[in-house]
Structure 1
Amino acid sequence: MNQPQPIPHNLKEAAQLSDEPPSNQPPIRGGDHLQAYTVEQVAELLHVGRDKVYYLLRTGQLCSIKIGKLRRITGRHLAQFVASLEGSP
């Protein structure tokens, strides 16, 4: 059985996660490499509240996909967001 990964201590570690989501919810896998996280999972990874994640989505700082009524943030979206932060002061 897979052990849950500990919550990363910084954004760079969060962006490098590729095997396990941060909570008991399994990632959505479409093909071999796509991982999609819920807003709650991303909030947990980034150590912010759910409202902050929705703010980042609303302002275009963080991208997401919609599957029907479900909003998901892919690992690639998360990595792009973290990379954009590394270049800012």
Structure 2
Amino acid sequence: MPPGTTIITITIERGGTDVAGTGMVILEEVVDVAALLLTIAPLSVSAGDFPPAAVAATGQVRYTMFISVNNPLYSYRFFLSGPVVFNGIAAAGTT
């Protein structure tokens, strides 16, 4: 990445806690944001998963979306304006 590039990473994890990296990553999207773009419009993420039967047998599967910003231009702040939507569907697997 060129110097001064800001990277926004969106991950969705199965299981885990409220801390990023504690679950199984099922989706990761990396967005290279222009330096002059300081406001991020409404965000909508959709994902699908086929958790193993052993995971589904616990009765509830938790999914969490995390958004992180790697901003070398720390004097600029990014604002998320509008709603953030996470839609998903999971179907229990047989493995």
TM-score using structure 1 length:
0.20
TM-score using structure 2 length:
0.19
Greater helix fraction, Structure 1 or Structure 2: 1
Q: Of the two structures, which has the highest relative contact order with CA contacts closer than 8 Å and spacing of 6 or more? A: 2
If you compute each CA radius of gyration, which structure gives the higher value, 1 or 2? 2
Greater strand fraction, Structure 1 or Structure 2: 2
